[in-house]
Every structure is written in C-alpha cells, then in structure tokens.
C-alpha cells in the first residue's frame, strides 16, 4: 500500500506534522479556549476571588479602570463660568457699531442672554475657542444688534471682563 494514504495518515490532528509539512494550520499542541486579549465577560471566568470589570479580571478592592473614549467622540470642555448673573462684558463685533457694553443677564450652561447698553437683549452661546477666548456666537435667527442704527449680526468677541 505504498503511495496510498489512509484517512488516518492525512488527518493533521493524528499525524506528526513534520517540519517539512506544507500545512500552515494550527500546531497540534494548540489548546482551545478564549483568544488572548478578549478579556472576561463575567466574574466566573476570573480566577480566585477576582471579578470581571471592564472586560478585565481585577481584585475586588482595586480602583475601577478608566474607560477610554470611543472613537469619534469629542470631549467638550465648557468655558470657565462667569462669576454671576450680573457680570459685565465689553464686546467687539465685526463693525465698530457692534461694540457695546453688555451685561450677562442669564447663564444656563452654555446658553447666555446678554443685555447690551442700548437695552436690547441678545441670546447666544458662550464657549472656549481654540485661541482661549470666550466667544458669544449669535444664532442666525437673531435679528441682529441694534444700537443707534442697524448693525449686521455676527460673532462678538469678549474683549475683557469688567
């Protein structure tokens, strides 16, 4: 029977897989089980009294592991809150007519209502810009700033807190 291979001879789990074997399969000392790096999904998968936390086996008294941010999620940083409801601001706009004294009359998170020295209120969003300036961005629905004459609405830059 030389030259005729039996089923037992071709079975990689039963044959010796010599070094000259062309098979690129898993070696025969492979141990089936969870892949390395997958981690745990329940406490019973951890050894001893260790528990499963964030897909890793940890000691029960160990501090929780920090959760990394998910890809694509941005971490928003809020601007430093102003001191109170009556903080005074001096703002500059795109035109000299837009410069006015303003009073912050409301602060609810990132939404603000600014009352200009002319008595008109403007609602906008206050945030920390890349250049570390506080910006009051007017919504497009705002009719614009009105001082002694009509001023186009746009971005107001906080020049200083008074």
63-102 pLDDT, tens digit each: 655 554 445 444 444 344 444 433 445 555 544 444 444 5
Q: How far apart are CA 15 and CA 110, in angstroms?
A: 70
Taking the domains of the chain in order of start, what are their residue ranges? 37-63, 88-161
Collapsing DSSP states into helix, strand and coil, what is residue 57? strand
Higher pLDDT, 149 or 49: 49
Q: Angle at Cα 71 formed by Cα 67 and Cα 74, nearest 5°?
A: 85
Hey, what are 142's tokens? 């705002």
Report the range of poorest mean pLDDT among 44-58, 79-93, 141-155. 141-155
Asked if pLDDT for residue 50 goes beyond 70, the answer is yes
Q: Sorting pLDDT into bands at 50, 70 and 90, what band is 52? A: confident
Q: How far apart are CA 106 and CA 86, in angstroms?
A: 8
Q: How far apart are CA 40 and CA 43, in angstroms?
A: 8
């Amino acid at each position: 029977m030389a030259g005729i291979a039996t089923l037992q001879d071709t079975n990689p789990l039963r044959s010796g897989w010599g070094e000259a074997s062309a098979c690129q399969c898993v070696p025969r000392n492979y141990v089936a089980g969870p892949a390395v790096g997958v981690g745990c999904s329940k406490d019973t998968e951890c050894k001893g009294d260790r528990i499963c936390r964030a897909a890793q086996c940890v000691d029960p008294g160990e501090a929780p592991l920090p959760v990394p941010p998910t890809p694509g999620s941005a971490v928003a940083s809020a601007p430093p809150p102003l001191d109170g409801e009556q903080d005074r601001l001096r703002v500059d706009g795109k035109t000299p007519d837009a410069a006015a004294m303003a009073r912050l009359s409301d602060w609810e998170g990132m939404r603000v209502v600014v009352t200009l020295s002319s008595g008109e209120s403007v609602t906008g969003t206050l945030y920390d810009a890349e250049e570390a300036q506080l910006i009051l961005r007017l919504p497009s629905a705002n009719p614009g700033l009105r001082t002694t004459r009509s001023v186009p609405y746009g971005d107001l830059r906080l020049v200083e807190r008074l």
